[in-house]
Structure 1
Amino acid sequence: MCQKGTLCLAAGGLVAGPLFQQETPPSSLDSRVAVVRRILSDVPLIDGHNDLPWNVRKFARGQLVGFNLTADLRHVEPWSRSAWSHTDLPRMRAGMLGAQFWSAYVPCGAQYLDAVQLTLEQIDLVKRIISLHPQHLVLATSTKGVLEAHRAGQIASLVGVEGGHSLGSSLAVLRTFYSLGARYLTLTHTCHTAWADCSVADAAGPDPPATAAAPAPTPTAGRRRRPGLTEFGRAVVREMNRLGMMVDLSHASVKTMKDALETSKAPVIFSHSSAYSICNSSRNVPDDVLRLLADNGGIVMVNFYTYFITCNSTANISDVIAHINHVREVAGIDHVGIGAGYDGINHTPTGLEDVSRYPYLLAELLSDPLWTEQDVKKLAGLNLLRVFREVEEVRDKWQLAAVTPAEDLIPAADLEGHTTCMYLAS
């Protein structure tokens, strides 16, 4: 093996050892962006969360007639007038996006009503958007699918269900979402469910302004006496492990985070969160959880919403990098990624205004000698791919062990006061 600080013989002659793998960072921004473009041709840039599907529902009632994702939507009504719009194919290509998790989100107000139906409609919408643009987008449901899409020059499109209220407290619905292609579930949104507490439980002061995907928190919905996950909530996590579905802890309370980390046999993710030590929003991840996450093998995909970055309406690339570096310092380089949250936020950092700007973030990192090209590759996509692969490995092991689908039912007492729109006779 080639040792640090040595030159080694190989079949083709001399090769450099690890001491020579890190080059002096390119001095100019343009040269660093060129390096980033080379990196992203090798490794897919993976973003953990984008709310475009909800904007399509909001602006176009979920109808794709007349919606042209290949256009620059900065010049198309009503998108051009919206502070919540950051995504279209020209800008995705400019940003060298390799894979995107599209959020199948429905508001907390639908909990105990039609949340399951609306989520199915949002998954259908994601698939219809993908099918309309086969030259650019392809549905991916595995690490293999992400890599194959990247090699083919397509943007791998994955589905994440945002909010446990979308399950209707049913493991059968969870399995159905998985069969339709969903590869992560965010355990909570801005409301407690009957089996998990959301981050509102930890809010010490007023919440930040509502986002497009979170119009207003509803903290009392499904509120239980005991914080964190109930036994049914732990059953949800275990069934996700069995399926090969990533457990997403963005929006969860700290107790829910810790309960899920204790329960899960696979790495977990935070699809769009940042560091609590820098901005003390309850939506961010505290250091003690970051250390637990490192032990779990999971990843925090840093969000770009200014109120999660600086706790106010303005931020810049350096502020985002501070969060990335903090997660790296506490949890390690293997546990950080990108989950911008575009189309679900209305305040973006200067320099990171839309999906075209990812290369400039990575180029700024390369100006710091701390960041090697390999480190940038991990942040861009390799870390998420590792987590996804390990989740699949747990699934495969459980299949070999003949672990059967869970049949847990949520106790009726946990649904008390929320059953008027449910058929419970069965």
Structure 2
Amino acid sequence: MNPLVSDVLRAAPVIDGHNDLPMQLRAQRSYSVEGLDQPLPGVQTDLPRLRAGGVGAQFWSVYVPSDLPEPEAVVATMEQVDAVHRMVAAYPAALTIACTAGDVRRAWADGRIASLIGIEGGHSLATSLGVLRSFARLGVRYVTLTHNNNTSWADSAAEKPAVGGLTDAGRAIVREMQRIGVLADLSHVAPVTMHAALDVAVAPVIFSHSSAKAVTDHRRNVPDDVLTRLRDNGGVVQLTFVPIFVSAEIVAWTAAMREESERLGLAEEEDWWPAAPAPGTTPEFAGPSPRKQHPELAGWLAANPRPEATIGQVADHIEHARDVAGVDHIGLGGDYDGTDSLPVGLEDVTGYPRLLSELADRGWSGADLQKLTGLNMLRVLQVSEDVAEEPLWARTR
């Protein structure tokens, strides 16, 4: 590790924008939070590894699939929010709920990891401002406007745009989010939606886990014209580690694999979303999500092994975003426990110091690394609080 990195992480621990451990707690452990204070098999995140990775604040994603009926999505999201609060309550010496920039600073001073909450997809709001405000009172600090399906009011990057970015209802939802101090997260949305949200934003927006489209041409990445507007908005793009977002070779390999799957007539595998534990039942730990093995595809996979993404490729995305948006508008959003593979050296949440060492070796200063790890996101939190007319999370504290 470059010796500069230890000093950086002491001064500005990582504020990571997106971690899907709550989803894994549901899928693998029936929402049990036991054992997180020791190395936990089957996940990429636990408390010892967060410490080793220099993480000082984590936005826990409370993701539910975007093809769920909206009322069902609201219930499932509530269960995810409950899981975060239960996890924090179980480890009070290590974790603390945070809603404000001041909460994050106090957590750092106390040697605890600030736990913030982000909803991954506007379907979880059921097109209801009342639901949005209720989640805000529970500590939710960002909402990703879509996941992989369009909502009735916003276009996703994963589907053909249907409403031209945002409808009038969508613009009203973004305005209400900023009025009450909830960040608008533009990861997962179509470029036309990014621009539409920036058109109405009066506070900084974020990308909680995205990379640079100019470096890797993937639909989930951010175009340069949006990065330029992000600078003017004062927001932050939190660069992610997802291999297909950072490696053009993996994009090409995935396209070829899908073409071969289609040739063989294999159906695309659906996301696994197990039922929540029923009251009065004994939790059953299901283990990692089952992956179908297709013997018909085995020969092609043996002849065409999946390429590996690298720390260097992630660093390339960070440097491109810095060059276009500016060093004050970049951060980190690993997407740990939301993807089954990660770049070599970033396989779990201990990887941040290795990435920072790569950047330090490229000539980054300690001051710029501190902006990347935490100070930029801390500023965004503070500005969003200052702009909010009625920060609902503050009324419960």
Which has the greater radius of gyration? 1
Compared with structure 1, are the counterparts of its residues 237 and 72 closer, same or farther at alpha carbon in structure 2 (3 Å cutoff)? Answer: same
1:197 counterpart letter in structure 2: D
Partners of 2:53 and 2:237 in 1: CA distance: 21
- Picking from 323, 329, 340, the partner of 2:334 is 340
- Picking from 219, 222, 229, the partner of 1:292 is 229
SS in 2 for 1:189: coil
1:305: which partner in 2?
242
Aligned-pair CA distance for 1:399? 4.9
1:383 counterpart letter in structure 2: N
RMSD over aligned CA atoms reads 1.3
1:48: which partner in 2?
17
2:14 counterpart letter in structure 1: L
2:36 counterpart letter in structure 1: L
1:39 counterpart letter in structure 2: V
Partners of 1:130 and 1:113 in 2: CA distance: 26
1:71: which partner in 2?
38
1:270 counterpart letter in structure 2: F
User: Do the aligned partners of 2:149 and 2:159 also contact (CA within 8 Å) in 1?
Assistant: no
1:385 partnered with 2:343: no
Spell out, residue by residue over 1:123-160, the C-alpha distance to the aligned partner (whole angstroms, 9 max, x if none).
00110011101110000000000010001100000000
Partners of 2:7 and 2:165 in 1: CA distance: 44
1:136 counterpart letter in structure 2: A
Aligned-pair CA distance for 1:193? 0.4
1:405: which partner in 2?
none
User: Do the aligned partners of 2:236 and 2:331 also contact (CA within 8 Å) in 1?
Assistant: yes
1:61 partnered with 2:30: yes
2:312: which partner in 1?
318
2:182 counterpart letter in structure 1: M
Partners of 1:285 and 1:366 in 2: CA distance: 24
1:116 partnered with 2:74: yes
User: Do the aligned partners of 1:266 and 1:394 also contact (CA within 8 Å) in 2?
Assistant: yes
SS in 2 for 1:348: coil
Partners of 1:175 and 1:399 in 2: CA distance: 10
2:37 counterpart letter in structure 1: T
Aligned-pair CA distance for 1:36? 1.3
User: Do the aligned partners of 1:228 and 1:259 also contact (CA within 8 Å) in 2?
Assistant: yes
TM superposition outliers: structure 1 runs of 4+ over 4 Å:
none
1:260: which partner in 2?
197
Compared with structure 1, are the counterparts of its residues 292 and 141 closer, same or farther at alpha carbon in structure 2 (3 Å cutoff)? Answer: same
- Picking from 105, 128, 152, the partner of 1:194 is 152
1:167: which partner in 2?
125
1:361: which partner in 2?
355
SS in 1 for 2:208: strand
Count of residues in Structure 1 that have an aligned counterpart in Structure 2: 334
1:420: which partner in 2?
none
Partners of 2:58 and 2:182 in 1: CA distance: 16
Aligned-pair CA distance for 1:278? 1.0
Aligned-pair CA distance for 1:353? 1.0
Partners of 1:360 and 1:152 in 2: CA distance: 25
Spell out, residue by residue over 1:198-243, the C-alpha distance to the aligned partner (whole angstroms, 9 max, x if none).
00136xxxxxxxxxxxxxxxxxxxx74x321000000011001110
Spell out, residue by residue over 1:78-101, the C-alpha distance to the aligned partner (whole angstroms, 9 max, x if none).
x1xxxxx21011111111110000
Aligned-pair CA distance for 1:297? 0.8
Aligned-pair CA distance for 1:343? 0.1
5+ residue gaps in structure 2? 251-306, 392-397
1:140: which partner in 2?
98
Aligned-pair CA distance for 1:347? 1.7
User: Do the aligned partners of 2:148 and 2:159 also contact (CA within 8 Å) in 1?
Assistant: no
User: Do the aligned partners of 1:44 and 1:147 also contact (CA within 8 Å) in 2?
Assistant: no
Q: Which stretch shifts more, 108-117 or 261-270?
A: 108-117
SS in 2 for 1:184: strand
1:58 counterpart letter in structure 2: A
Aligned-pair CA distance for 1:166? 0.1
Aligned-pair CA distance for 1:113? 4.0
Partners of 2:213 and 2:358 in 1: CA distance: 22
Taking the TM superposition and a 5 Å limit, the aligned residue runs for 1:85-100 are 85-100=43-58
Aligned-pair CA distance for 1:112? 2.8
Partners of 2:335 and 2:12 in 1: CA distance: 21
Spell out, residue by residue over 1:157-177, the C-alpha distance to the aligned partner (whole angstroms, 9 max, x if none).
000011000001100000000
Partners of 2:37 and 2:69 in 1: CA distance: 34
Aligned-pair CA distance for 1:357? 1.2
1:106 partnered with 2:73: no
Partners of 2:355 and 2:91 in 1: CA distance: 27
1:5: which partner in 2?
none
Aligned-pair CA distance for 1:60? 1.6
User: Do the aligned partners of 1:314 and 1:347 also contact (CA within 8 Å) in 2?
Assistant: no
User: Do the aligned partners of 1:111 and 1:166 also contact (CA within 8 Å) in 2?
Assistant: no
Aligned-pair CA distance for 1:44? 2.4
Give me the TM-score of the superposition, normalised by structure 2.
0.82
User: Do the aligned partners of 1:271 and 1:301 also contact (CA within 8 Å) in 2?
Assistant: yes
